[in-house]
Amino acid sequence: MNILVAFDKFKDSMSAARACDAAARGIVSRLGDEKHTIVHAPLTDGGEGFCPILVNAVDGYIEYHTVCGPLGHELEAPLGWVDAAKLPKGVQSLQLPAGGKLAIIEMASVAGLEQVAHSERHPKYCTTRGVGDLIRIATAEGAAAILIGIGGSATSDLGLGALEALGLSFCKKNDQTIEQLTPAQWEDVIAIRGELDLSIPPIFIACDVNNPLLGPNGAAAVYGPQKGLKPGEIEPFDTQAKELAEALCHFFNVPPEAVDIAGSGAAGGIGFGLKVACGAEYVAGFELVSNWLDLGAKMSACDLVLSGEGKLDASSLNGKGPLALAAAAHASSKPCRLYGGAVMPQVNAFVAEHFDNCEVFTITPSGTELLQALADGSKNLETSVSQTIK
């Protein structure tokens, strides 16, 4: 058989690449390694792994820079570079540059939850300044365009921290500049000053989230709780976000309706901020990754598809990699198996109704404590694959 293993990350347990490796070990332990071809295609939704997965797929390179982390401390973050001329044709159809150097920024590596201890997670105190630092560096190094994956963020600052790194300043009374703005200082902002570097190249944002910036389906309401917002904090946070969003739109002479653009609520609104200030464009994340990794050709050549992620839940049904891959397998009449550390009932129901060639498996033994499940993720995936593959 030709078996395609295309896993997304198992958050806090294993990267997409490690998940693919674990699944491959499970295949070999059950079927042996003779007469079978195992094709690895680690997936990314724009979060952890976005930079190395895309860079390695087209023989690019990664350099590291010291930039501002989400809590204001310095950290080393990757900046990927690829030759735009080497991109697959399907990627070029997304209107990325046809030539020159394309810079790749992974927001999760510089403003992500993975950099913030659970006890310190709260979007009021986190900044996207490091993303702006990397944009500035990529611009100075001659990027023809910049591609940003915005999954896995710890922030909800409308991208104002990034814009601060790119030349804006936010002032309080007596025209004093606020140093390193976070939402905790939003109520003090009375004016926006400064200007952006006009040489910033086109910015593309990989995103599959369609949420607006504000309201019951917005950044604070939907994603704030996982970043540390408590229920009683959501409404006042959203109110202040609305005021700052309107001020930013006014500063750049952009209609305030920009807050309603699909995707503006992703990653705490950084796409909104970069679109208003820099004219950034959204690109469909899974479509980008699928074309970049040439998943269509890999799908056509395979006899079986294995995929999955840490938690298969309602968000997985909204265009995320494993379920999108299952849909593609169904359309191609390829058998598919999905594996999750946890699997919610709605996923089982959806798959049973729509994909008659797909099976879903929970890899975590019943009764396992969360920390133990995370520690044993690789072993559990390997075991589950070996027990379920035929």
In total, how many domains does the chain have? 2
- Average pLDDT of the residues in 42-55: 89
Torsion, Cα of 218, 182, 140, 60 (10° steps): -50
Task: At 64, give phi and psi (nearest 5°).
Answer: -120, 140
Asked if residue 37 and residue 170 are part of one domain, the reply reads: no
Question: What amino acid occupies position 255?
Answer: P
pLDDT surpassing 90 at residue 201: yes
State mean pLDDT over 241-266: 95
Tens-place pLDDT, residues 62-108:
999 999 999 999 999 999 999 988 888 777 656 777 778 999 999 99
Q: List the one residue out of 203, 190, 206, 222 whose CA is nearest residue 314.
A: 222
Q: Where are the alpha helices (DSSP H) in the chain?
A: 16-31, 50-57, 89-92, 108-111, 129-140, 160-165, 224-227, 231-251, 270-278, 285-292, 295-301, 321-331, 345-354, 370-375, 377-388
Q: What is the CATH number of the domain that holds 175?
A: 3.90.1510.10
* Least confident segment among 32-36, 163-167, 362-366: 32-36
pLDDT score, position 39: 94
Q: Side chain identity at 106, as an amino acid letter? A: E
As a whole number, the mean pLDDT across the chain is: 92
- H helices present in 141-206, as ranges: 160-165
The neighbour count for residue 54, using CB atoms within 10 Å, is 25
Same domain, 156 and 260: yes
* Helices and strands (DSSP H and E) totals, the chain: 15, 13
Distance between CA atoms of 298 and 41, rounded to whole angstroms? 9
Query: Roughly what angle, to the nearest 10 degrees, separates helices 231-251 and 270-278?
Result: 10
Query: Looking at the structure, do residues 222 and 261 belong to the same domain, yes or no?
Result: yes
pLDDT at 92 (0 to 100)? 65
Q: How far apart are CA 308 and CA 337, in angstroms?
A: 8
Q: Higher confidence at residue 290 or residue 64?
A: 64
- The Cα–Cα gap between 26 and 306 comes to 11
Nearest one of 18, 34, 19, 24 to 4, comparing CA atoms? 24
Instruction: Summarize the confidence of residues 195-209 as an average pLDDT.
Output: 90
Domain termination residue (choose one: 232, 262, 286): 286
For 312, phi and psi rounded to 5 degrees? -95, 105
pLDDT of amino acid 94? 62
Same domain, 134 and 25: no
pLDDT above 90 coverage of the chain, percent: 77
The arithmetic mean of pLDDT across residues 364-377, rounded, is: 95
pTM for the complete prediction?
0.89
Nearest to 268 by CA among 221, 311, 321: 221
Check pLDDT > 80 for residue 27: yes
What is the distance in angstroms between the CA of the first residue and the CA of the last residue of the chain?
10
> Which of 286, 307, 338 is the last residue before a domain boundary?
286
Segment 342-356 mean pLDDT: 93
End residue of a domain, out of 252, 286, 320 = 286
Closest CA to 69 of 129, 150, 134: 129
Using pLDDT thresholds of 50, 70 and 90, give the confidence band for residue 194. very high
Span 253-259, average pLDDT: 95
At 219, the pLDDT band (50, 70, 90 cuts) reads very high
Asked if residue 84 and residue 28 are part of one domain, the reply reads no
Asked whether residue 158 falls in the same domain as residue 244, the answer is: yes
How far is Cα 308 from Cα 10, in angstroms, rounded to an integer? 8
What pLDDT does 48 receive? 86
Quick one: 37 and 57 in the same domain?
no
Residue 24 vs residues 39, 339, 384: alpha-carbon distances, Å: 9, 13, 11
67 and 77 in contact (C-beta within 8 Å)? yes
Tokens of 232: 């009683």
In the prediction, which pLDDT does 11 show?
84
Range of the domain at 178: 50-286
Q: Is the pLDDT of residue 318 over 80?
A: no
Query: Looking at the predicted structure, is the pLDDT value of residue 384 above 70?
Result: yes
**What long-range pairs does 63-67 form, CB within 8 A, spacing at least 24?**
65/133, 65/134, 65/137, 67/110, 67/129, 67/130, 67/133, 67/134, 67/137
Same domain membership, residue 371 and residue 244: no
Please tell me whether residues 192 and 270 are part of one structural domain: yes
114 and 220 inside one domain = yes
* pLDDT confidence tier of residue 319, bands split at 50, 70 and 90: low
Find the CATH number of the domain harbouring 363.
Answer: 3.40.50.10350
- pLDDT above 70: percentage of residues in the chain: 98
